[in-house]
Structure 1
């Protein structure tokens, strides 16, 4: 099991990134909350990882903090919640916000995340109650190391739209959400953050 990687960030385009670890390029998928804290390409970074084994592929997921990874591992054990939905949940809210939704039975807030209907939200509340209590109701704990200015993407709007689509939003809805906040941000990470925030504040 690969539990942690430290290497040079050589590519990032949500939800995909690549680390060069002593000459070996590791492809990972990560929640948007991790992307918000990534340094510029070319800078060293440390990520907590989870290797998800499927019949057709082995997918490596990266997380900025150990608590975020622990929540991901708990989520994929819930019936009907796969890795893609777990990433969408972690991308749409912090571990603290998710814990609060579960403990407060806040079904409405959970259904605002892409791909989560009422039945799935109810299942999450029931099955995750004991697990989030065990994880602790701490805020997201950053684990990303490295510094430098964020890399400037060639087209932050297109990157933001593509990232939202990868989370389960329909292309038209993703474009609409990004267009609403386009004038408020310059990077794809900022656009994604504001777009997701707007869906949860409805």
Structure 2
């Protein structure tokens, strides 16, 4: 089990990063709420990881805190929720915001996330009600995940990068294009566009 990586951030393209640990490059996928908190490329980063082994792949999912990773692990234990859907949920909502959804039986917010239908949301709320007590986490108001000290992703086309990131998280091409075009302003980097697009869809 690979539980933590401490190394140099070589590349980041939401929601994926490449981190060099003593000469070995690890590809890790993060929820956007964790991705926003990464340092600049070339700097040292610490990522808490969850290792998934499938017949066709070995995958690493990363988080900025053990608490976020614990919530991810609770989510993938829920019926019908795999790692990809759990990552999508934690990209649209911070861990604290998800806790608030569960505590208030907020189906409406959950069904706005890609891949979460009404039945899945209702089942998730029921199954997570007791499990989240293990996290000892206070709920937070439902606002868009904020950029906490992260450097912007400077790219040639923030719009295209934002659309690609949203599609990789499970949004349809139509949803991603519509949301990004609605919030994009000239000069915006992809991180700002992604954050504002997610906010507009919740």
* Same fold (TM > 0.5): yes
TM-score (structure 2 length as normaliser): 0.91
Question: Is contact 1:39-1:151 (8 Å) kept?
Answer: no
| Segment drifting more, 180-189 vs 117-126 | 180-189
For the residues of structure 2 that align with 1:184 and 1:100, how far apart are their CA atoms? 34
RMSD: 1.7
Q: 1:8 deviation in Å?
A: 0.7
What aligned pairs does 1:81-100 form with structure 2 within 5 A after superposition? Answer: 81-100=81-100
Q: Which runs of 4+ in 1 moved over 3 A?
A: 147-151
Is the partner of 1:133 in helix, strand or coil? Answer: helix
Give the match for residue 190 of structure 2: 188
Residues 40 and 139 of structure 1: CA distance in aligned 2, closer, same or farther (over 3 Å): farther
Measure the CA separation in 1 of the matches of 2:187 and 2:89: 23
2:21 corresponds to: 21
Distance 1:183 1:77, change over 3 A: same
**Quick check: 2:38–2:150 contact (8 Å CA) kept in 1?**
no
Bigger relative contact order, structure 1 or 2, given CA contacts below 8 A and separation 6+? 1
Gaps of 5+ in 1: 141-146
In structure 1, C-alpha distance between the alignment counterparts of 2:180 and 2:61, rounded to whole Å? 25
Whole-angstrom distance in 1 between the partners of 2:79 and 2:150: 40
In the aligned structure 2, how far is the partner of 1:171 from the partner of 1:7? 34
In 1, Cα distance between equivalents of 2:187 and 2:131: 36
Distance across 2 between alignment mates of 1:190 and 1:6: 26
Q: Does 1:134 align with 2:137?
A: no
Shift of 1:50: 0.6
Structure 2 CA distance for aligned equivalents of residues 188 and 148 of structure 1: 13
Is the partner of 2:78 in helix, strand or coil?
A: coil
CA contact (8 A) 2:37 2:150 kept: no
**TM-score, with normalisation over the residues of structure 1?**
0.91
For 1:144, the equivalent position in structure 2 comes to none
Aligned to 1:143: none
Q: Encode CA deviations 1:44-67: one digit per residue, 9 max, x unaligned.
A: 111111101212211011111111
Whether contact under 8 Å (2:100, 2:139) holds in the other structure is no
Please report how far the alpha carbon of residue 185 of structure 1 lies from its aligned counterpart in structure 2 after TM superposition: 6.8
Distance verdict in 2 for CA 1:3–1:186, change over 3 Å: same
| Cα pair 2:167 2:176 within 8 Å, conserved | yes
